Amino acid sequence: MRFLLIALIGFLTLSGVFNFDPGPMPGVKIKNALMYAIIVGLFLRMTFQRYRIQLPGMLTLWGVLVGYSILTYVLIVLAIDYPHYNWLSSGMQLKNQMVDYMLLFLVFFYGLRSTEDAVAVLKVLLICLALSHIVAVLDALGYVQIGDIELRGDGRVQGTAGESNQYGALVALSLPAIAAAIFVTRGLWRMFWMAAAAFTALTLIMTVSRGAYVAIAFAALLALYLFRRYVRPTKLMMAVACTLAVAVLAVGVAYSLGFGDLLGRRMLGSAVKTSDLSGLSSGRTDMWVSVMGTMLEHPLTLLTGFGWNAYAAMPFRWNTHNSYLLAWFNLGLPGLICTVLLLVVPIKVALSASRVANATVRPHLIGFVVGTTALAVALFFVNLFSPWLFVWAYVGTVMRIAVNAMEQPVTAPASVPAAAAPASRGRDAHGWGAITSR
């Protein structure tokens, strides 16, 4: 299963970064075939082996979110019939987004059983993300031209996610995870992860995404508070010093590469030209007020939403630039609550696991808490679409590490007879076990 998941990561990267999505025919892609093959394998495994459901809260949240999306989609098609609502395109988006995102989380979480396999898959995923960031920087400097990675018209770097703000959110998620790998490796691998972290920090600077800057700064400060008891002061101070040094170096390199004027305009220009909230937010507050005004004209939608992908059928000029507001507009409170909790629950699980995990996986869990917190903050300023494929693969993999860390068997005292240990009926530490006849 490990090799199938690694192959799936490879094809996700080829599709998202290099715009190479092979398949025998349109709509039938290798990455989808791999994902569905893994799902079939999981169903077969559950059929022939006992299995204990883990993280039931996540499954419940996904079930509610996907089920409510399907329900509202059916109601729009059969009863509401919005003008300009493309039912075929919306149906494909429902499958490619909600359903596939849920399946990605499930295949990476349930497809992995041991911590060793999960760490190996996690490293492959981080290597692919790091390479995509390196390619983005090289492309921005004109050394390569690969796939859809290119500079925007205003000079900002785009990458795996395409649009700079989305890409900035993905980089903010991956930067702590890549930096965490430095603390669990030695030799040449440590040198690689240090270089990858430096390139990732440089990429973040070159996206000039203010939302991503705010997100990573907030997440870093929160991490200093959350993990103050679990990291030795010397290591904490070393990590802070290294972070500041990398940040200063990344900013300096960005300035030397010609991004100084762009950084100045983006970071200071709005504040100099205007002091009103709309100007400081690049017009985001005006968009939010317009969306909220439409919902207030139909108060019931504050609870129910307008239905799956209804925003695309509305005469708005711009997107919401706020993932939470878009979820609320389309799917009401069920969609908003599930969207928030699908990020909050993994953060809480990883935080709890970091307190009992061993030193070989604790940095990965800490990096996940910091990165996912940064993503949750960045979503307040951007609509995220394609990066979700990498996000849920990452979440599923780290949740396997976290659950295994919390459920690792406790060694019984020597005075306790072996027969006194609870019978697991052939079940391993990850909830799997062979069927026994009764």
C-alpha span between 281 and 263 (Å, rounded): 16
Q: Find where tokens 């600077």 sit.
A: 205
Per the CB < 8 A criterion, the answer to whether 231 and 280 are in contact is no
Q: For residue 162, with 0-12 CB atoms within 10 Å meaning exposed, 13-18 middle and 19 or more buried, which class applies?
A: middle
Q: CB count, 10 Å around CB of 241?
A: 10
Domain chopping of the chain, boundaries: 2-403
Q: CB count, 10 Å around CB of 66?
A: 18
Q: Measure the CA angle with vertex 394, ends 391 and 395; round to 5°.
A: 85
Per the CB < 8 A criterion, the answer to whether 108 and 120 are in contact is no
Pairing assessment for the beta strands 432-434 and 49-51 based on DSSP bridges: antiparallel
In order along its 438 residues, the chain shows pLDDT tens digits of 788 898 888 888 887 776 676 666 655 677 778 888 888 888 877 777 777 788 999 999 999 999 999 999 999 999 988 888 999 999 999 998 899 999 999 999 999 989 999 999 999 999 999 988 888 777 777 776 665 555 555 556 666 566 778 888 999 999 999 999 988 888 899 999 988 988 898 888 888 788 888 999 899 888 888 887 766 667 667 766 766 676 666 667 666 666 655 555 555 555 445 555 555 556 678 888 889 999 999 999 999 999 999 999 888 877 888 999 999 999 999 999 999 999 999 999 999 999 898 889 999 999 999 999 999 999 999 998 888 989 999 999 999 999 999 987 544 333 444 444 444 444 444 444 443 333
Per the CB < 8 A criterion, the answer to whether 295 and 301 are in contact is yes
Amino acid at position 435, single letter:
I
C-alpha span between 126 and 123 (Å, rounded): 5
- The tokens of 183 are what? 């603390």
Of 300, 296, 366, 289, the C-alpha closest to 333 is 300
Contacting residues for 310 by C-beta, under 8 A, at least 6 apart: 72, 76, 82, 85, 329, 330
C-alpha span between 280 and 91 (Å, rounded): 37
- The tokens of 364 are what? 């990965």
Give the H/E segment covering residue 432.
strand 432-434
Give the H/E segment covering residue 203.
helix 187-207
Per the CB < 8 A criterion, the answer to whether 350 and 368 are in contact is yes
Amino acid at position 167, single letter:
Y
